[in-house]
Amino acid sequence: MGREAMSVSASALRQGIYRLLRRVDWDQRAVRDAAIIVALATMSLIAGERFDLFAAMMKFQAVYGDWGLDDLAMALIVLAFALAAYTWRRLVDLTAEAKGRRAAEAEAKRNLSQLTEAQSFLNTIVDNVPASILVRALPDARFVLVNREAERLIGVPREALLGKSVDKVFPDAAARRISEHDQIQIASHQPVVFGEEVQIPSGTNSARITVSTGLAIRDDRDQPRYLVNVVQDITERKHAEERIAHMAHHDPLTDLPNRAAFNDALQAALAHAKTEGVAFAVMCIDLDRFKEVNDVFGHATGDGLLREIAKRLQAVCGSAFLARLGGDEFTIICAGGAQPAAAEALADRLLHAIEDDIETGGQILRAGMSIGVAVYPNDGETAEVILANADAALYRAKAEARGSVRFFAAEMDKHLRERRALQHDLRVALARGEMGLHYQPQASIGGEIVGFEALARWKHPTRGFVSPGQFIPLAEDSGLIISLGEWILRQACREAASWPKPLQIAVNLSPVQFRHGDLPALVHTVLLETGLAPARLEIEITEGVLIDDFTRALSILRRLKALGVRIAMDDFGTGYSSLSYLQSFPFDKIKIDQAFVANLERNPQSAAIIRAVIGLGRGLDLPVVAEGVETAAQMAFLTHEACNEVQGYFIGRPAPIDRYADLIGRAAPLRAMAS
């Protein structure tokens, strides 16, 4: 083959290739691979022409003959380039495929890990949800998921639950109830809340109270596939609610109904009595001297006594409604039988129930109680009136004879109304300027005036002067004695500080004042405000101060004594333990109660008692004051027995201080001189 022929062939080949390239779909990979092979073949032809490979072959053929090597060589070169291209292409493809495979495997592993983590997370959440979660597969409603809380609630291991239906797990009654719920869930396309409480028997053999929310999970064809139930165990909550409800209507100490429960029961009894036209009784009960038990033996013993009395009262009350209102106050609604006979019989049984000794806190105690009774409708037609009248009857029982029963009478109501009206007026008496102080002189046995006792007086705008025997107990019962006592102390100290003569001023303090506030601090403040020397102030107390709370009272008395104030024991001889008190605290003076002085001339025992007290004072080096001295004979007896001081009408009546202006070293006002 000549050079010219080969040149023509090459040119034709190039033109053919050009035309072919315009018609090729280059988006196909096979086309691109073929194009690469053709390009390599073309390059091999060009390389053969460039390096005279064909000339060398022709020269070889000229020497050795025409073996067809040129065609073979050309084919081999083309095939070699094509094979190289194919091999390279396959290597690239295989590398890409391997890389893609590794990437796919890594992605699959990541997805699997994420799926595993998600599943583990969901399992952990489901297992730790504080509610029971149960899933059952339909149509046979077998358990396919049970969380830990459900396992605990049912009391059966989840392995024993999975794959079983409810009739294989629960008793028949509970299984039927659950099946009824299932049908409701299947029929509904919304979550169903089963608000009623279902008792599910648990593995601990104790029924649990539950509330369930159920939902049927449906497939693409809207057919129910699963039943999901979230069950809340509300047993403890219900028990707590019951306890709270019980506590709201019961006394925590005795477990008897409390005031709120009593009020409800009283309203119910009234409604029933009005509808049926029957009578019933309300009984108010107070324990006698219960406070002394607390003070002497402590509150723990007092609480034990209350519990035991509550048991005994409850044992004899029968169908009657017994409640504890607080402290030592009990009430009973006696609604059965003819009244007042039924209430009287019950009262007798109540008194008899506490006759025997009561052992509590290591002590053997005896208790008594007073009872007041009011009967509907005779003694009141409203809860307020009948309860107030029963209380009035109780007040009369305690005043006349402790340990007794009193039925309400009309005069009790009148007395109670008067007492409450007087108490109301007492509340505003200080603000209206109705209270005042009178002063009674105290003298040595030789007749020299040594001081005065300040005594409160109330001049009511309509009643006139109200006896201290009336308003002082009212003030103590209502707590008004705190403000009244402070006013008396301040006024008396201010008045005494203005006297030219430095005489003593004596002020009585109530036991109530010792139980409230800081009494020594109050006395100290009053002394500083008024400028009265502490040694001129004498505080008089009765043994009631020490009986109420001996330790506290003793501490207060010592603090008062440290201020320089003098302390006198008033009404000495009327209590049962005054001698022990004289041993416990260094009093500055003893005052003999006026009851002994009043009987001095007609009762030999009174004379002996006065003589003994004066001797006791002499032995203890304590001055003795005799109160209530009204006659010369009484004065003569006390002088003969060497009593230190005296006080009474014989020395001077209580009066405004202007009446005694000369005794305190002050010029008498004209009105006092005129009188």
In CATH terms, the fold of domain 426-674 is TIM Barrel (3.20.20)
Task: Read off the pLDDT band of 673 (50, 70, 90).
Answer: very low
CA distance 646 to 625: 5
Superfamily of chain region 129-239: PAS domain (3.30.450.20)
User: Rounded to an integer, what distance in angstroms lies between the CA atom of residue 598 and that of residue 633?
Assistant: 11
Q: What is the rounded distance in angstroms from the CA atom of residue 323 to the CA atom of residue 258?
A: 6
Burial pattern 218-246, b for ≥16 Cβ within 10 A else e, equals: eeeeeebebbbbbbbbebeeeeeeeeeee
Residue from 660, 361, 311, 348 nearest 503 by CA: 660
What is the pLDDT averaged over residues 531-556?
A: 87
pLDDT for 70: 54
- Residue keyed to tokens 């009206």: 421
251-408: CATH number = 3.30.70.270
Structure confidence by residue, pLDDT tens digits, 559-597: 999 999 999 998 886 655 457 777 788 899 999 988 889
Q: How far apart are CA 403 and CA 369, in angstroms?
A: 5
Asked if 554 and 518 touch (Cβ cutoff 8 Å), the reply is no
For the chain, what are the domain ranges?
Answer: 3-98, 129-239, 251-408, 426-674
Q: 114-128, 451-465, 534-548, 609-623 — which is least confidently predicted? A: 114-128
| Summary mean pLDDT of the chain | 83
- pLDDT of 211: 81
Reduced to 3 DSSP states, what percent helix, strand and coil does the chain have, rounded to the nearest 5?
55, 20, 25
Residue 439 reports pLDDT greater than 90: yes
| pTM metric for this prediction | 0.51
Q: Please say if the pLDDT value at position 398 is more than 60.
A: yes
Mean pLDDT of 390-407: 86
Quickly state the pLDDT bin for 672 (edges 50, 70, 90): very low
pLDDT digits (tens, 9 = 90+) for 169-205: 777 887 888 888 888 888 888 888 876 555 555 455 4
Contact call for residues 476 and 512 (beta carbons, < 8 A): yes
Least confident of 189-203, 471-485, 641-655: 189-203
The mean-pLDDT minimum among 48-57, 97-106, 589-598 falls in 48-57
Looking at the chain, the number of H-run helices and the number of E-run strands are 25, 21
Query: Residue 1 — very low, low, confident or very high, per pLDDT cuts 50/70/90?
Result: very low
Instruction: Identify which has the larger pLDDT, 357 or 204.
Output: 357
Tokens of 396: 């009369």
DSSP symbol at 576: S
Contact between 169 and 159 (Cβ < 8 Å): no
Interval 234-260: pLDDT, tens = 888 888 888 888 888 898 899 999 999
